[in-house]
Amino acid sequence: MIYTCTMAPSVDYTTFLASFQTGELNRANAVNYYPGGKGINVSRVLQQFNIPSTALGFVGGFTGEFITQKLQEEGIQTDFIQTNETTRINVKVAAKSATELNGPAPRISEKQQQELLERVQHFKTQDWLILAGSIPSTISTTFLEEMVKTCEQLGVRLAVDTSGQPLQQLMTMTPYFVKPNEHELGELFNTKITTVDEVIYYGKQLVEKGIQHVIVSLGAKGAIYLSHDCIAVADPLQGEVMNTVGAGDSMVAAFIAQMTAEASKVDAFRYAVAAGSATAFSNDLCDRQLVEKLAQDVCVNIYTDRM
């Protein structure tokens, strides 16, 4: 089973306008409401590949009910922990340029953290736990350590896609799969990364620490995959970028979907790049048909001599 965990989910409210004027009344041409959060995005994309998953995390109030209902309508199983706070709403204004207003992360009590840990303790060997998105400051470092330790003891494959101090901490505990972007990779090593060679150099250091799979997303410049026996560099796909929200999450979902189907590392990476691009070229998350089409156009260069 694949479990996704979103500590701070949201209802993503996106408004589309021809132009946006601060201090003025702006009327939207269209609006969208989606269940949001990186782990939730991963579950939604996995569903496009007919891969079942269970969405974990913390929700509350009418917005939490909306998220649960929408995911269940899409056929995604949920096992959220209820909080006393209303799940946040993130407002995204899509005009000539994009503006985002994200609500504050929820306060997660020790009791609620323990409830999540108890769920993880019932996972089975070879299950996946995808920890994605921001981690509230009320989540203790001890809790993260216990969760990672539990995954290691049970043989659960932990995938991490977060940032900041939690990412720094989690990298010391050797997850199975990580997907930083180039800026997050630089922050891990207290440096600024500007070239492909630098991405490869620092990405290899993560692999040398014992991380099995590393994908570094480079936005419009493509992506790089690293493992103990392979370095693969994907050129960017060309298309009209309509939406960057969820592109990285789509990469994570497609990579894991292909790995569960026993695809090769390179093919899994190829689909990851296609899925990230498909989301970027869409108003919402990618659909499988477009991913399959774009996967045929992904150019991957393999550098085995650099390992």
Supply the residues annotated as catalytic. Answer: 249
Contacts of 60 (CB under 8 A, 6+ apart): 82, 83, 84, 85, 86, 87, 106
Structural contact between residues 170 and 148, judged by C-beta atoms closer than 8 angstroms: yes
N-terminal to C-terminal alpha carbon distance within the chain:
32
- Among left, alpha and beta (phi > 0; psi -120 to 50; other), residue 125 is beta
Structural contact between residues 70 and 118, judged by C-beta atoms closer than 8 angstroms: no
Contacts of 161 (CB under 8 A, 6+ apart): 38, 130, 131, 132, 133, 178, 179, 180, 248, 249, 252
Structure tokens, 191: 């440096």
d(CA 27, CA 18): 9
Rounded to the nearest 10 degrees, what angle do helices 288-295 and 265-280 cross at?
120
Question: 302: how many CB neighbours lie within 10 A of its CB?
Answer: 14
Contacts of 50 (CB under 8 A, 6+ apart): none
Rounded to the nearest 10 degrees, what angle do helices 38-48 and 247-260 cross at?
50
d(CA 299, CA 161): 24
Structure tokens, 155: 């043989």
